[in-house]
A and B are shown apart, each in its own frame.
Chain A
Amino acid sequence: GNSVTQMEGPVTLSEEAFLTINCTYTATGYPSLFWYVQYPGEGLQLLLKATKADDKGSNKGFEATYRKETTSFHLEKGSVQVSDSAVYFCALSDFGNEKLTFGTGTRLTIIP
């Protein structure tokens, strides 16, 4: 079955540091890949997504590239801000299937 593995948290960084959150996946078909973000007390919201190999999703300075050869979708940001403090979830859905398989989430805290 499908699975998503993302790096254990929590992750604490200083403002303006470079961020990488690793995500690897196992899927039988041609999945779409997502990063969702959850701010305190809120529901999840889509941060970015990629639907085929070598696609790059980007939003709010965050980027992730769909790497089929390494089955990875690592999240990066060049300079984090305090407002980026949240829990980040990597997820996938199979082609033609709406169900999302989520990773366990990585809590990110940015200190000024």
Chain B
Amino acid sequence: DAGVIQSPRHEVTEMGQEVTLRCKPISGHNSLFWYRQTMMRGLELLIYFNNNVPIDDSGMPEDRFSAKMPNASFSTLKIQPSEPRDSAVYFCASSSHGLAGGQTQYFGPGTRLLVL
């Protein structure tokens, strides 16, 4: 299996521009997670989907952030307009949903975003 695929791996943009991050989860996984990692705040869960439906978006910082999962094999995280404080590494992870919990999340390599 190819694992979780994220693109782009690196993104440099200017403040005010729209940024779109993409994720392809592992085939057969039905839960998908978006995280943000910074030195100051550590690892933060932004949003997660189960069966393409957003379950918890309480971590989305503000209206400038939006996420979609149009099908089981693709998700996007969009920032519009971007600001320098959005600079971070954004990770996508996927897992197989289980009622008992304890499922392993598989992380992608991340997208390193720099907003100038």
Contact = CB atoms under 8 A, between A and B. Distances in A.
Contact of A95 (B4, B43, B56, B100): B100
B94 to A, nearest CB: 11
A105 B43 contact: yes
Tell me whether chain A's interface is mostly helix, strand or loop, or mixed: loop
Given A89-B43, A102-B42, A102-B43, A96 B109 contact: no
B34 interface: no
B25 interface: no
Given A43-B91, A43-B107, A32 B48 contact: no
Interface in A28-56: 31-32, 34, 41-46, 49, 51
Interface in A68-112: 89, 93-100, 102, 104-105
A34 B97 CA distance: 16
Contact of A100 (B4, B97, B100, B105): B105
Given A98-B48, A105-B42, A32 B101 contact: yes
B43 A98 contact: no
B45 A104 contact: no
Interface of B: 4, 31, 33, 42-43, 45, 48, 50, 55-56, 91, 93, 95, 97, 99-110
